Amino acid sequence: MRIAFAAAVPPAEGTWVVLAGSDGALGPTGSELDRRTGGALMRALKDRSGNFKRGEAIELRYPAGLELDRIVVLSLGKPEEASRYDLETVGGNLAVRLKGLRVRAASVAVEVLGGLRASDTAISLATGASLRAYRFDKYRTAKDDLEDQNDQLEQLTLHLDEPGAAEAAWRAAEAVIAGVAHGRDLVTEPANVLSPEAFAEACRELGPALGLEVEVHDRAALERLGMRALLAVSQGSAREPRVATLRWSGGPPDQPPVALIGKGVCFDSGGLSIKPASGMEEMKWDMGGAAAVFGAMKALAGRKAKANVVGVLGLTENMPSGTAQRPGDVITSMAGLTIEVVNTDAEGRLVLADVLHYAKEQFKPRVMIDLATLTGAIIVALGHEQAGLFTPDDELARRIQDAGAAVGEKVWRRPLGDDYAKHIKSDIADIKNVGRNRQAGATAGAVFLQRFVGDVPWAHIDIAGTAWSKEDRPLAPKGATGYGVRLLDRLIADHYEA
């Protein structure tokens, strides 16, 4: 969908959207249209009895006295109470409503309402509409699918005073949206297309256009580095593993980077501890953490963030074969810690163990944050509404929670500590890769990862419940959500830019 900003003009043709408060208060354009239609808008709003909820819309088709196809009155709720994210959800609702009306182009009259700045409102509405209008149509060929594609909203023009200011702000917002969309694309791709090698190639392609420094380590390089935990996960697959680093240097040259770490298991069969067949097709999105980091790096570079950030992606497949690792194997990680592999389906933490240690030693970061679809246990605990946050650092926890709340990507802090570290004590190695049966499974994964971060401030975000959705969400259609891209971008914008 194309977004444009234009000067405020009187509505003349096509579909126009005007804004209203929950009490039915209209802006100047809405009031003028109401006058020209003989009070039709206010009569329609009267039916809502002062309860015009945020995001709801009323449609008037072929309004008398005008050459317009339709007027859509869109509620901002109580504007004085609306956050940026609230307004984004209104934009998402608008995109859904216009698609349902088979509108391919629409104009929005954005005016000061309830103290909101018109440019801020315009950016928020455009952001929400763009995120919600996302589609992945790459493999659709059937006639009915193609017809459905032709019903999409293609153009949204926001009319306001001083559109130039909105256009300037939109460039940064658009870069973040592009990062979310690209991350969703990667998660949605089938595993026969998005192999670890193909994911690494996508990283290479991203670099030249955005000024990212990209390095890809192949199997031979990983063997030289001693990433034996990651390699153990990959040894059952015919696909070669990769570790990709994407570096953005937008801050002071001497400032240590923020390190973003992503689990990129492009397909997770469970290995020899094989998963049930039912639902296994969903395991193509077990690389959602790597996709989120990829999308965040694209967003940061696209908007030229004034920060030094490195993204490190551990890319592999977890497959059963005669060469796969076995339950009971003991492997030695890059950090030198030995790991008893009790369950080969707890593979993500093995991948991250080596990648976290590598990021710590190679880049000397000021903070490390990893994202991973790590455990089903976090879904049992939190459902699909929030991700699990694990960190021993109270200030870092607060920053991540605030960033997530601001963009609608919520996190809930979960416990760590020595009591839980006992859960991964092994009888024959330094640690084992699972905890106690059906006890604090998500925390067991987190305390495992904590063994590889040293003294660097660190947070782990378990996104197993939020990377994919089986139902539509305010800013995402069902499927890949792109969770984490906007959270990371907002966190860095608020706390780590120069």
What is the tens place of the pLDDT at every residue in 54-81? 999 999 999 998 999 999 999 999 988 9
Identify the pLDDT of residue 408: 98
Query: What's the average model confidence in pLDDT over 268-285?
Result: 97
Which residues does residue 5 pair with via DSSP β-bridges, in sequence order?
A: 158
Is it true that domain 175-495 has CATH number 3.90.580.10? Answer: no
Of 79-83, 277-281, 354-358, the poorest mean pLDDT is in: 79-83
Domain boundaries, the chain: 2-164, 175-495
Would you say 402 and 389 are in contact if contact means Cβ atoms under 8 Å apart?
no
Identify the pLDDT of residue 49: 66
Query: What's the average model confidence in pLDDT over 350-355?
Result: 98
Token reading at 292: 């989120």
Identify the pLDDT of residue 47: 79
Say what the pTM is.
Answer: 0.96
Report CA dihedral (418, 421, 427, 431) to the nearest 10 degrees: -130
Token reading at 456: 């660097």
The number of beta carbons lying within 10 Å of the beta carbon of residue 139 is 10
Mean pLDDT score across all residues of the chain: 96
Would you say 18 and 10 are in contact if contact means Cβ atoms under 8 Å apart?
no
The dihedrals phi and psi of 248, each to the nearest 5 degrees, come to -115, 125
- Sorting pLDDT into bands at 50, 70 and 90, what band is 7? very high
The number of beta carbons lying within 10 Å of the beta carbon of residue 233 is 29
Taking 70 as the threshold, does the pLDDT of residue 262 lie above it?
Answer: yes
Strands (E) located in 238-302: 242-249, 258-268
d(CA 193, CA 196): 10
Task: Identify the CA nearest to 222 among candidates 192, 243, 199, 245.
Answer: 243
CATH topology match: 2-164 vs 175-495 = no
- Sorting pLDDT into bands at 50, 70 and 90, what band is 46? confident
Identify the pLDDT of residue 112: 80
Identify the pLDDT of residue 113: 80
Identify the pLDDT of residue 48: 79
- Sorting pLDDT into bands at 50, 70 and 90, what band is 149? low
Would you say 316 and 189 are in contact if contact means Cβ atoms under 8 Å apart?
no
DSSP string, 364-407: --SEEEEEE---SHHHHHHTTT-EEEE-S-HHHHHHHHHHHHHH
Length of the chain in terms of residues written: 498
Which of helix, strand or coil describes residue 58? strand
Q: Which residues are catalytic?
A: 275, 349
Query: What's the average model confidence in pLDDT over 162-185?
Result: 96
d(CA 325, CA 363): 30
Would you say 325 and 344 are in contact if contact means Cβ atoms under 8 Å apart?
yes
Cβ contacts of 10 within 8 Å, gap of 6 or more: 29, 32
Strands 155-159 and 2-6: parallel
What is the tens place of the pLDDT at every residue in 90-146? 999 999 999 999 999 999 999 988 778 899 999 999 999 999 999 999 998 886 665
Query: What's the average model confidence in pLDDT over 239-256?
Result: 98
Superfamily of domain 2-164: Leucine Aminopeptidase, subunit E, domain 1 (3.40.220.10)
For a pLDDT cut of 70, what percent of the chain falls above it?
98
Identify the pLDDT of residue 147: 56
